[in-house]
Homo-oligomer: A and B are copies of this chain.
Amino acid sequence: MRKRPVSLKTLAQALSVSMSTVSRALRNHPDISPELTRKVQLLAQELQYSPNPLAMGLLRSQTYTIGVIVPDLVTHFFASIISGIERVANEHGYHIVIRSSYESYQKEKECLADLLKLRVDGIIMCLAQETQEYAHFDALLDAEVPLVFFDRVCRATEVATVVVDNQEAARRITRHFFEGGYRRIAHIAGPASLNITQERIEGYQQALAACGLPFEESLLVHCDLSIASATAATQRLLALPNRPDAIFGVNDTTAFAAMKELKRQGLRIPQDVALVGFTDEFHATVVEPTLTSVMHPTVEIGQEAALLFLEQARAATHPAPRQTILTTQLVVRDSSAPKPA
């Protein structure tokens, strides 16, 4: 049995006063005499008193705790978003408790339920890939529990969200290829259900049109974001009678899987096929050739999400859901060097 930490009662008994007096003294209430106040604060300091958050939580219905649900804890993308959330949460006195949905709809519901049972003050999350029904958020919305989605979102009119401008990013990539002299630009997209997939496809198509290139069905392939599936998608593209001269992968895993497959088939990058991915700095610079990629402002996504939470948590009345759109950055490296004339 661990001994209980010092409480108001400990202090009160030690000083032979009531708990209310101790409580007031600690908060410098004018009702308490200066000498007593000093004595109390001194003892509190000495005994390292710190108010019990459980009692405070009970009183105020506030735990200063944010539930964070991500599809996956290991991926650099999510890890650094969590890092961003953690930083601003801590700066504002909040703790974060983390759960992974493992991209599963069932697990996502479980996590949500568990965190609510824990009485978190709000939820910051990214939808699981499987999730197509959104009824499990009704309870939160009804209870006006602060909720923030990032990256993968739904019900954007009801929930605060932070996303990146996927269309713009996809347009920029496509244009970048075009300007480099590439004309058969393929796109390995993600699952059709994800909003990020749709937006990037739209941007891709918009840019093709703007560049005067036709949209060829066969140059748009889907994968489920796994390595195997991305590899298969690449193979489908390369098996085309008229294969693409540029590939734009929808994310990290996809881009690297594509790169490996290209190398395996003896194709040179970018001479035979140029490549661009959505990925993060460390990976992109370590491969050969270095990978041109759209960098997500991951830490900022997390920070912004936490700020949106705080905004809701502090508001007296439930504020209108705000949408934050962050811009990405296209970092040009070797894998998309201009085509030699």
Binding site for B on A (CB under 8 A): 1-5, 50, 52-55, 57-58, 61, 63, 65, 73-76, 79-80, 82-83, 86-87, 90, 95-100, 114-115, 117-119, 143-145, 256, 259-260, 263, 282-283, 285-288, 316
Contacts and interface: CB of A to CB of B under 8 A. Distances in A.
Nearest to A82: B73
Contact of A96 (B52, B97, B143, B263): B97
A74 B63 contact: no
Contacts of A80: 73-74
B86 A79 contact: no
B73 A76 contact: no
Q: Which of A75, A83, A96, A260 has the most CB of B within 10 A?
A: A83
A83 B54 contact: no
The 6 lowest CB-CB distance pairs between A and B, nearest first, are: A288-B288, A73-B83, A79-B79, A54-B57, A50-B117, A74-B80
Contacts of A259: 286
28 contacts: A4-B61, A50-B117, A52-B58, A53-B118, A53-B119, A54-B54, A65-B97, A73-B79, A73-B82, A73-B83, A74-B80, A75-B79, A76-B76, A76-B79, A79-B79, A82-B98, A83-B100, A86-B100, A87-B100, A90-B99, A95-B114, A95-B118, A256-B282, A259-B286, A260-B286, A263-B288, A283-B283, A287-B288
A86 B58 contact: no
A263 to B, nearest CB: 8
Contacts of A256: 282, 286
Nearest to A100: B86
Copies in the complex: 2
A119 B53 CA distance: 8
A160 to B, nearest CB: 16
Nearest to A95: B97
A76 B98 CA distance: 16
A143 B95 contact: no
Nearest to A59: B54
A2 B60 CA distance: 11
Contacts of A263: 288
Contact of A55 (B50, B58, B100, B114): B58
A99 B86 contact: yes
A82 B75 CA distance: 12
Contacts of A3: 143
B100 A97 contact: no
Nearest to A143: B2
Contacts of A58: 52, 54-55, 58
Nearest to A63: B54
Nearest to A257: B286
Nearest to A144: B2
A5 B143 CA distance: 9
Given A53-B117, A54-B63, A61-B4, A96 B98 contact: yes
A287 B96 CA distance: 35
A325 to B, nearest CB: 23
Given A58-B55, A114-B95, A286-B287, A74 B79 contact: yes
